[in-house]
Amino acid sequence: MRGPHNILRLIRTGATLERTGAMGVVLDAFDAPKPLRMAARLLGWPFKWLGYNGDPTTPAAPRALTALGPAYIKFGQVLSTRPDVVGDTMAAQLRVLQDKLPPFSVTEAKAMVESELGIDVDSVFSEFSEPVAAASIAQVHKAKLAQTGETVAVKVLRPNIEKDFRKDIDAFYFAAGMIEGLSPSSRRLRPKDVITHFEGVVKGELDLRLESAAASEYAANTKNDPGFQLPEVKWELSGRRVMTLGWAEGLPLGDNAALDAAGHDRVALSERVLQLFLQHALRDGYFHADMHQGNLKVAPNGDIIALDFGIMGHIDEYTRRVYAEILYGFIRRDYKRVAEVHFEAGYVPEDRDVDEFARALRAVGEPIFGMDATRISMGRLLSYLFEVTERFGMETRTELILLQRTMVVVEGVARSLNPKMNIWNVAQPIVEDYIKTSIGPRAFAKDLGKTAMVLARFGPRLPGLVEQVLIAQAQTQPEAKSHPLRTAILWTLVGALIGGGAVAAFEAFF
């Protein structure tokens, strides 16, 4: 329930950061201004006794986030990929949150597998190991199938994980409501909508049947991508709380020393992981949205192996084209066009000045192109971007949250492999290829074909449907009898211009 009792949960968050010593570490990592430091300490210190103690053998930040629960751990996982934001030391400390959390017992795991799948574990598996990885949602066991001898990975949800997440989400909603109430200017960021989006993502991650389906779809989309592998889902041994996949042998993508020792080219890996993400997001509109180092391995042959498909992102064709045009504009340093695309897509209110917005974007983009990547402060850059969105009244686009978040994580992973990597240079060939195939004459012809197919399917029904619309319109607005027909023609033209998204709208219209 989203009531005042959540105040205790939020106070306990601050108290835990204070008690574990993480408060100062976090404030230092983000280079927080003095007023914010004072406010944080005043809110946390008096309630220090309410905070969780956590595991005193671990560093302060992961100790606090682990004690606070799975939703906080997710946040720490994102930060672990951004040494340019939180510093190398904290990023390394937070990396344990990716797959090295305290596990639950193998006895509990076996009992859950038997209960979920209705099998005898010792009969189906000739071997069933202790946990080999433990993350915020589930843990993984290495096992061997008794019948075939194949090595597999068995993923099992943590006990009571659903209840723990509901508690955290409840507190987050309460905090979002307080923020909106105390700071009306924050409403443009739509904090409640952001939490709703996060809640939807988490719910999908807590049903491993959905993850199995996601892995299967992702594999179908990427089967011909060079240098990329996915483990096969074992459907007969998967359910809501258990998922079984083929075993993926490889080195963790975050272990640079091991990658160097094995002779892998980290520069090539950094470029490939970023390009794969952009390729999947733009080409397929379906991408892995949790691509931190704990979910990525490098096979002996150098292929990148992706794991953990609980959070997948989807963006429609229209949004992909907008996103690609924005990226392409930045790559070409055509800030006026980037600004125009924001206005055309409705991301910036119409009453703002497009030229002024273009100048603000130039201030964001030019340092990226004019400076070595190792000298770019993503913390300062993100801070300035936030100022720009506030100045121009841009609202949070909930449909882009997952895409933007994943872009930040993937860039962080890539730069941990190669600190000098420039995101724009690496992205250019992928974005240009998408632009060529999806924006221009070929794309226009393809969209016309899609629209024609919709019209052909509805062909036998069109006369009757148009007549019904005309009659209904004439009854409500006698003076505008021709409007519905003009509207139908307009939808056809729009469908031809922008493709899949408008085709769906045309279908809905009829």
Q: Which residues participate in catalysis according to the annotation? A: 290
DSSP symbols for 342-379:
HHHTTSS-TTS-HHHHHHHHHHHHHHHHHS-GGG--HH
Alpha helices in 34-95 (DSSP H): 34-44, 60-68, 70-79, 83-86, 88-94
Residues 278/428, Cβ–Cβ less than 8 Å: no
Secondary structure element (H or E) that encloses residue 325, with its range: helix 317-332
Burial 336-353 (b: 16+ CB within 10 A, else e): ebbbbbbbebebbeeeee
Q: Which of 424, 378, 402 is nearest to 275 (CA)?
A: 424
Residues 309/218, Cβ–Cβ less than 8 Å: yes
Read off the tokens for 253.
């993508």
d(CA 55, CA 50): 16
Query: Do the bridges between strand 151-157 and strand 242-246 make them parallel or antiparallel, or are there none, so unpaired?
Result: antiparallel
Residues 411/275, Cβ–Cβ less than 8 Å: no
Strands in 253-355 per DSSP E: 286-288, 296-298, 304-306, 312-314
Residues 80/65, Cβ–Cβ less than 8 Å: no
Q: Which residues pair with 46 in a beta bridge?
A: none
